[in-house]
Structure 1
Amino acid sequence: MFKRIGLFLLTNLLVVVTVGVIMNIVLPMLGIQVRGTTGIAIFCGIFGMSGAMISLFISRWVAKRTMGIHILPEGEPLQRMVATLAREAGIAVPEVGIYESPEPNAFATGPSKNSSLVAFSTGLLDQMNEREVEAVAAHEVSHVANGDMVTMALLTGVANAFVMFFARMVAMAIDTFLSDDEGGGLGFFGYIIVVFVLENVFMMLAYIPISWFSRQREYRADAGAARLTSPRSMAQALDALRNVTAADRVSGAMALQRISSPKRVSLWATHPTLEDRIERLNAM
């Protein structure tokens, strides 16, 4: 439930950095200049959305390759469970996979409702009973049914475009401020360095609303899982996860995701606290 966003955002960042290199180094070397506010805005809009869309379309492939996911054949108990939930949710049956990890985790990814992947860690399958695993599977199927990856890609694409545009506008303003009648300014490589630094700073700020949206969609996926199974089943699955992470003292990647923090989540947390999610499910 916790690596889906990280994989997507990391891939998106790598694509944006690549686009930045092309835009700032390769194109000028070829004699292609993007000038004027309108030209830069159009260029950033195209490449910003492209980064997110590329991340979306290769997300399933990236997940398989980077995490060593073993795809289950049709007829396996876990595959049948996910297939049943998918049909109830009105979507195409996703690929179902397992990957080696002691952390209790699961995620869904893919470019569309008809082309998706739901993967489970061995740690989750070892530490949860069948009813809890079914609730987790329903949660991930709900993400697919809600079109969350597509919505996230569109939101991230818009953020990319604004980040790339404002980074260049600020860099141009700094260059103009440092220039005088004798020249000066940032210079070619100075401008590139400033743009890359500003892109990273602005991207961190852009992740605040993106993370807020991610937390809201977790609530929606919990509600979807409650409809496919029951609120009690989903709450029990989260409670089992809370017990595991509490015993683990929330180390490593789990601490990064703040999945069991008793305090308010950070601005960059992609998931609400387990306590808050369980409370909402119990209220149902």
Structure 2
Amino acid sequence: MIRIFLFLLTNFSIIILLFILSVLFGLHNRSLLYIICSTIITGFTGSIISLLLSKKIALFTVGGKIITEPKNELEEWVLKIIKKQSLRLNVSNPEFAIYDSESVNAFATGYSKNSSLIAISSMLLKNMNKKEIEAIIAHEMSHISNGDMVTMTLIQGVVNTFTIFLSRGIAYIICNIFLKSDTTSNKNKTDYVILTFILELIFGIAASCITMWFSRKREFYADASAAKLSSTKNMISALKSLQNYTDLSNEPKNVHALCINGKINSFLDLFSTHPPINVRIQALNKKKYM
């Protein structure tokens, strides 16, 4: 979940920054050609930059440390498992990082299959047995092998483009057709900018449902791939263990969004990056997505 959260956060921040810069430098032109060109550029810029910086941002955010020289038997074992699974999946060996956290968590990120990172929380390594850890690593390796971050970038770029295009197009129609105001006046320009920004926020929230739907779907495929790499029994055991570590009451609220599992209501399920764990276990038992 962390990789998706950070990707979306960075992507959204870059788009907002580009929007502000376009306003400050007077580049918020309303011609149809400009709208089409600028929406494509702006839509994909945030996603691509987020992808390229994904490893550095993730490590900085969680305070992770890359392990090159193992300090104990467990770290050495994890590195061997990652190497073993990389060979089976025919991808370059990902970097391995550990970060201190009270939550049981792990994530994978990177801009390509051959430039990736797997980060595991210290609490996960402490509380799970080796078979469960191997299944968790297999799950993250599956995300890398499936190219989920690249696919997410393409989807987010398309979603961003439609969001920006619709926002600017509708704002243009409202200001110039319905309001019939002077397009050269400063007031109309201000109205257009404000209306565009509001519409981008609204459409952005709606569009995030599409991105989150893809994220939830990919979790099922990653679970299935992990079951093949490790075993279905190990993957189910790992998921059941995650259910025992969902209490975040003693952690800062800004950490809650990074948790791999959590209680959400039916409405907010639309914005959830992961399906409920019990549903994922059922899918494995029924051998779906395999």
TM-score by length of 2: 0.88
C-alpha distance in structure 2 between counterparts of 1:189 and 1:115, whole Å: 44
Residues 175-190 of structure 1 aligned to structure 2 (within 5 Å): 175-176=175-176, 177-180=178-181, 186-190=187-191
2:21 aligned with 1:22: yes
Residues 195-234 of structure 1 aligned to structure 2 (within 5 Å): 195-234=196-235
2:272 aligned with 1:269: yes
Question: Which residue of 2 is the match for residue 168 of structure 1?
Answer: 168
Structure 1 residue 173: Cα displacement: 2.0
2:4 maps to a residue whose letter is I
184-193 or 149-158, which deviates more: 184-193
2:10 aligned with 1:11: yes
Unaligned runs of 5+ in 2: 71-75
Residues 1-284 of structure 1 aligned to structure 2 (within 5 Å): 2-26=1-25, 28=26, 34-73=29-68, 76-176=76-176, 177-180=178-181, 186-245=187-246, 252=253, 253-254=255-256, 259-261=261-263, 266-284=269-287
Measured against aligned partners, the alpha-carbon deviations of 1:97-149 in whole angstroms (never above 9, x if no partner) come to: 01111111100000000000000111211211111111000000000000000
Structure 1 residue 199: Cα displacement: 1.0
C-alpha distance in structure 1 between counterparts of 2:18 and 2:231, whole Å: 45
TM-score by length of 1: 0.90
The answer as to whether partners of 1:232 and 1:282 remain within 8 angstroms in 2 is no
Which structure carries more relative contact order (alpha carbon 8 Å, separation 6+)?
Answer: 2
CA RMSD of aligned residues (A): 2.4
The answer as to whether partners of 1:67 and 1:99 remain within 8 angstroms in 2 is yes
**How many residues end up aligned between the 2 structures?**
278
Structure 1 residue 46: Cα displacement: 1.5
Structure 1 residue 256: Cα displacement: 7.9
C-alpha distance in structure 1 between counterparts of 2:164 and 2:265, whole Å: 34
Counterpart secondary structure, 1:150: helix
Counterpart secondary structure, 2:243: helix
Measured against aligned partners, the alpha-carbon deviations of 1:219-271 in whole angstroms (never above 9, x if no partner) come to: 000011001000110010000001222x5579854478683448757111110
Structure 1 residue 182: Cα displacement: 11
4+ long deviations beyond 6 Å: 181-185, 255-258
C-alpha distance in structure 2 between counterparts of 1:250 and 1:230, whole Å: 33
Counterpart secondary structure, 1:243: coil
C-alpha distance in structure 1 between counterparts of 2:50 and 2:216, whole Å: 20
C-alpha distance in structure 1 between counterparts of 2:19 and 2:120, whole Å: 35
Structure 1 residue 22: Cα displacement: 2.4
C-alpha distance in structure 1 between counterparts of 2:187 and 2:87, whole Å: 58
C-alpha distance in structure 2 between counterparts of 1:248 and 1:59, whole Å: 25
Counterpart secondary structure, 2:160: helix
Measured against aligned partners, the alpha-carbon deviations of 1:161-213 in whole angstroms (never above 9, x if no partner) come to: 11111111122122222234798795333322222221111110001111111
With over 3 angstroms needed to count, the CA separation of the structure-2 counterparts of 1:269 and 1:166, relative to structure 1, is same
The answer as to whether partners of 2:182 and 2:188 remain within 8 angstroms in 1 is no
With over 3 angstroms needed to count, the CA separation of the structure-2 counterparts of 1:116 and 1:241, relative to structure 1, is same
14-23 or 54-63, which deviates more: 14-23
The answer as to whether partners of 1:175 and 1:185 remain within 8 angstroms in 2 is no
Unaligned runs of 5+ in 1: none
